[in-house]
Every structure is written in structure tokens, then in C-alpha cells.
A = this chain, B = another copy of it.
């Protein structure tokens, strides 16, 4: 290492976040620290350095995850988590304020998914030195990419001791509502086979692509189920998300593939979802490529019911798969609760209503303070 680089490292002092500012300002500050998946280090450093000042918190660093725990001997412990990465920036940084129909929005990458939620969490972590439950705050990296990189998953594998808790709240955007559980998801490749031939003499061959017609017609006509689980209605989905086939411009193809995604209600296990697909596509060659269990809403636990009542929300089902499923798999009831409209997540015009940030902070602060 050249001396100059060593010097640079030696004098490197992480930024500190201004957590005394409003949650809206904190959202803006952490959005403008770009942290696309894989590039979370600068933001993780800033979070770690800022919370190191808080005497009521034990701060633990694990890769680019930061965990901060109270240890007040409370009867219950709640895990409150949020991911600090975003999908790639697409001309939508730095952030700016916009007013639409008289409502103020903070516009830019990450404002919805999910730095507004993280900002609320950071502010409360710093300010609530005497919450009525012990809290384990978790901020993690690589949520928006392949599951094997997910910081929360890696943390759970290395430090299961940190995953003790009676309830978990994930700050994913839910329009300030409580969204319980999540659908499971299954991806599989369905293949058809034929016989290759020169396309000038097609009758010698057997066209594999043509055989996908019946599969696509089935998908087009399929009505997804709506399944009630613990009082919430989960809407399923069955879709082709990719299709491929073909050898050359003058060859009858001997193989074709459609890639299908089945989003299934948390009343079904992955095994049951696979069995259902095998029944629906009986006679076709199927290869499972990815599967994640859903999560039941877990809203029958007393602490979960209390939380829902306290924040004054009507619980709804979460359709997309989120990390609540990891808590659910560990036996910890978990919900999504965060500011921002999920339909604006990943959008180029991603923006959060600033009123939702303030409302979210007030509700979570009240519940944690026992007021």
C-alpha cells in the first residue's frame, strides 16, 4: 500500500448524521448518501459512528449491517429492522422537495424503499433511551439483490443470538399501514421438447415453441386465488416472467422454455405450492429454480394486536415477499410498517409524502414510549 493511501485510511473519520433534525431531514440526508446494493459502506459507517454516542445502546457491526440494542431488562423485546440499500439510481438523486396538489413530497431514489422508514428508526433509536420494551434495531445491506447476499440473512446465520425477540417490525413502505405476513414465491422453468429440422421441411421436425401455446393460454385464462389467512385476504399471482427458444433462422426448434413465477398465499408451504403447479401443468417438464416460503401474518399474538391497535392501523396483507418471512421462519411474529406508497418503490419518480414520515414517527414513538 503506498504511504499516501495508508495516510488517507488513517485519517478517515466517518460522517455523523444529524439525528436531532426532523425525520424528514434525516430521510433527505441518508438518501443523498447513495447506497445502491453493494455500496452501503459509507452509510453503514455513518450510522455506526453516530449511534456510538448513545449511552443506552450497544452497537454491533457485522459487515455492512449495524445492530443497536437496549438492555433495560424489559419483559419483552422487539426487533425493528430496515435495509439501507436501494435499487440503482436512475437520474433521481440528489433528492428534492416537490408539492403536488398541495401535498409535500420528498422525491428521489430510496425515499420510499426504504430510507424514510430507516430515518424514523434512526431518530427513535437515538432519542428513546427508556422504551417500554427492549429494542434491537437492525439496519442491513443487500436487500435488493440476490437472497444469498442479504445482510439480514447473513446476520441471522452468524449471530442467531441477536434474533431473540417477541415481535418484529420491518420498516418496508406500507403507506403507514400495518401489512401482515407476505406471499410465498416460486419460480420454475417449464420446457417443451420437439425434433429439430430444417425449416424448409418443417414436417420432418416437431416444433417445440408451438407447444408453449397451450401453456400461455392456460396462464392467460388463469384466475389467481384469493386466500384468507388469519383474517387477511392474500391475492395470489401466476405469471410468465420470461420465455425463450430457437436455434437459428432456418431451424425448427427442438426445445422451448417459459419461466413462470407463482406467488402463493402464506397458507401454503413451498412444497404445497410446487405440488399445485405440478398438478396444474401435469405432463410438462418442470424445473424449480427458486422458492421462498411466505409468512403468516402473525397478528394473533397479543403484542402484535397491541401494536396494531396503538398505531391505529387496519391490518392488510402484504403481497410482495419481504424479510418478515425470515422472522416468521424463526417463530417471531413480524409485520411491515413504514411510510411510503409501495407502488412508488423502484419507480423513477419514487417519492414519499412527508406527512407519512411524521405520522409514522409519531405512531412508533407513542407505542415504544407506552404513551
Contacts and interface: CB of A to CB of B under 8 A. Distances in A.
Contacts of A91: none
A248 B250 CA distance: 29
A290 interface: yes
B203 A209 contact: no
B241 A319 contact: no
Contact of A241 (B215, B242, B246, B343): B246
A220 interface: yes
A259 interface: yes
11 contacts: A202-B237, A204-B343, A207-B220, A210-B239, A212-B213, A213-B215, A213-B216, A239-B252, A240-B245, A241-B252, A243-B245
B200 A237 contact: yes
Interface string A309-349: 00000000001110000000000000000000001011000
Contact of A243 (B185, B220, B243, B263): B243
A176 B158 CA distance: 74
B199 A263 contact: yes
B187 A249 contact: yes
A238 to B, nearest CB: 8
B219 A210 contact: yes
B209 A213 contact: no
Contact of A202 (B199, B239, B253): B239
B200 A243 contact: no
Interface string A221-242: 0001000000000010111111
Interface string A344-371: 0110000000000000000000000000
A47 to B, nearest CB: 28
Contacts of A252: 239, 241
Contact of A320 (B201, B209, B218, B346): B201
A254 to B, nearest CB: 11
A319 B203 CA distance: 11
B212 A214 contact: no
A277 interface: no
A31 interface: no
A261 B199 contact: yes
Interface in A248-274: 248-253, 256, 258-259, 261, 263
A148 interface: no
A183 interface: yes
| A204, A213, A261: residue with the most chain B Cβ atoms closer than 10 Å | A213
A248 B258 CA distance: 13
A241 B249 contact: yes
B217 A200 contact: no
Nearest to A263: B200
A249 B217 contact: no
A198 B243 contact: no
A56 interface: no
Contacts of A200: 183, 185, 237, 263, 319-321
A98 to B, nearest CB: 23
A203 B236 CA distance: 10
